[in-house]
Amino acid sequence: MAPCYQEIALKRCQTASCLCQAIHNLAARKGRRHQTAGGARQYRRGQHPASANSSGETSVVSAHISRALQRPEYPPRSGNRQAGRIRLLHGVQGLVLSGTIRALQYLGPARCSDLGAMLARTVGPVLSVSRIALDNLRIAFPEMAESSRDALMRDAWDNLGRVVAEFPHLPNLGRTQDGPGWEIVGEECIAQAWQGGNPPLFFSAHLGNWEMILPIAGALGLPVGGVYRRTSNPVIDRLIQGIRERAGSGTKMFPKGRQGARAIIAHLSAGGTVGFLVDQKMNDGIKIPFFGSPAWTAPAIAHLALRFERNIVPVSIVRIAPARFRLVCEPALRIALSGNQKEDEVSIMSAINRHLEGWISSRPSAWLWFHRRWPKGAPADQGHHGAVHHGTARPSRSR
């Protein structure tokens, strides 16, 4: 459930020692250049230690890199120089990332959070992606002064920098009274929405540190799965998913695409549940108003809620201090349904988008504005949003 900006920021870190090690290790493999596909070792997932700071962390990271470099995505290297160069680049990037992760783990979560915020506030505003954030802010808050939008964009970089820097510490952030960790408000809403053997579906947004949602769900013992987008570098993908798996404590991750969709259906059929981040653009979705302007919206959660007759529970992460968070659970959405599949999906997603508007309006600096949510040239919001209705029942049908 993490965006590509984390991966971009981490991949750009430069560590000279890691580069040297990568060149040495990959040069040693050069003699095996003509190995056949049948003789290649197959990728297998490794076992992860309970703590990211344990003595076995380095070997676990190295194992992830080694196994990822042997994944089926790489073709046999019989004279394929381009594939060899890509393999080399992926290995170097993975080693740079693993070195950065280990360095951040030594600093502690709160200090890491502050460091990430400082770096992001310094570098982020000069990047071209900041123009996307300002365009989004003009659509969502047309009455806001330009100087206020600029300040808000910088605050959004502050939050994103913290999200990236806190990521290596996810496995070690637990439920605490104060300091680094998390607390929960509205936990009873989950029990109220859990009717019979059907757990509710959950939706959230890229607010606060959204990466904390699955670790908290795992700590609560919920059979929750999340959806993620694979990176183009399988080494980095394995490193990132390794941290999420250790932090998630039994939660599942489903890749976007047909394979992931089939796995989600099987997971729900077996009594599991899924959490969705529903605030980003989906080109083949449905057009739903968002801050008054039509926005392509992913209807998967609405489709699955109707198919499996599940309640839909809003959850959000509130940052209350560096590396400290509050999970806020709210009553399940209550929406009158018509019985028409397409109309009901639109009704559900419209209610969800209105809910997101409320979260973002109350904490605009906590949202990920660096994603083109609306088409270029979208009209500004006219300020007319519907009310959000809450309840404890699943979407009800009225014929």
DSSP for 236-278, please give it: HHHHHHHHHHHHHTT-EEEESSHHHHHHHHHHHHTT-EEEEE-
DSSP conformation letters of 310-339: --EEEEEEEEEETTEEEEEE-PPB--EE-S
Q: d(Cα 339, Cα 337) in Å, to the nearest integer?
A: 6
Q: For residues 10 and 102, give the distance between their C-alpha atoms in angstroms, rounded to a whole number.
A: 12
Ramachandran category for residue 275: left, alpha or beta (phi over 0 → left; psi -120 to 50 → alpha): beta
CA atoms of 191 and 221, how far apart (whole Å): 12
Separation CA 230–CA 219 (nearest Å): 25
Q: Indicate the pTM of the whole model.
A: 0.77
Cα(153)–Cα(364) distance, rounded to whole angstroms?
A: 9
Residue type, 302: A
Answer yes or no: are the C-beta atoms of 297 and 278 closer than 8 Å.
yes
Block residue for tokens 């993620």: 228
Output the tens digit of pLDDT for each of the chain's 399 residues: 444 444 444 444 443 344 444 434 444 444 444 333 333 333 233 333 333 344 444 455 555 545 544 454 555 554 577 888 898 999 999 999 999 999 999 999 999 999 999 999 999 999 999 999 999 999 999 999 999 999 999 999 999 999 999 999 999 999 999 999 999 999 999 999 987 778 999 999 999 999 999 999 999 999 999 999 888 899 999 999 999 999 987 789 999 988 999 999 999 999 999 999 999 999 989 999 999 999 999 999 999 999 999 999 999 999 999 999 999 999 999 999 999 999 999 999 999 999 999 999 999 999 999 999 998 877 765 444 433 333 333 444 332
Per the CB < 8 A criterion, the answer to whether 96 and 9 are in contact is no
Residue 195 is predicted with a pLDDT of 72
185: β partners: 328
